[in-house]
Amino acid sequence: MYVQDELVWRSLSIAVFAVAAVTDIFDGYIARAYDVESKSGVFLDPLADKILTFAGFVCLPFIDPVQFPWWAIVLIVIRDVVVTVLRVYAEQKNIPIETRVSAKIKTLLQMIFLYIALLIGVFLQADIMFSSHVHALMETFIMGWLMLLVVAVTVYTGIEYLYVNRHLFSSARANDG
């Protein structure tokens, strides 16, 4: 819906994105507060986060392909796919992988960044209040630098997952030999 040139669709898609992000936060809080986490929920919640963020990140190059380049989106997607495959592999081995605090921070950072970036896309398209300020903001390349920060944090957390769970790979080689 967001990549269509209709302002109403972009606005509606941002509202859906925001509701999904906020309900995800409350869902996680309630699950932990009432100790109602399930094995499938522990796997599906991060997967749902990834799908939501993928959808948002894929829209960004349509706003400004220089500040939101495809290679950055690809790095984010690769990191999330690798971590998901690692989780599935560990699950098959009955080895739990806890979601890292850094990954939770990464997800929060991504969600906030995506909301702001997608909202900027609406203001760039519409001739409404704050549009001139948003155009000026985009000319400063601040969003491009923030995109690089998000990519750096995302890649770091992927490397951290691989490092912390490196025992999975050594046991795989021992079992293959």
pLDDT above 80 for 25: no
In a domain, 2, yes or no: no
Is 1 among the domain residues?
no
Distance of CA 40 to the CA centre of its chain: 20
- For 35-54, what is the mean pLDDT? 78
Question: In the chain, what percentage of residues exceed pLDDT 90?
Answer: 37
Chain mean position to CA 69: 15
For the entire predicted model, the pTM comes to 0.81
Per-residue CA distances from 109 to 114, 150, 153 (Å): 8, 7, 9
Q: Is residue 173 part of a domain?
A: no
Q: With respect to residue 174, please indicate whether it lies within any of the assigned structural domains.
A: no
Considering its fold, how many domains does the chain have in total?
1
C-alpha span between 34 and 55 (Å, rounded): 30
Res. 174: pLDDT tops 60: no
Evaluate whether residue 20 is within a structural domain: yes
Is 151 among the domain residues?
yes
Is 177 contained in some domain? no
Please indicate, yes or no, if residue 114 is contained in any of the structural domains.
yes
Query: Residue 102 contacts by C-beta under 8 Å, 6 or more apart in sequence?
Result: 153, 156, 157, 160
Domain that holds residue 42: 7-167
Mean predicted confidence (pLDDT) in 92-113 = 88
Q: What is the pLDDT of residue 61?
A: 95
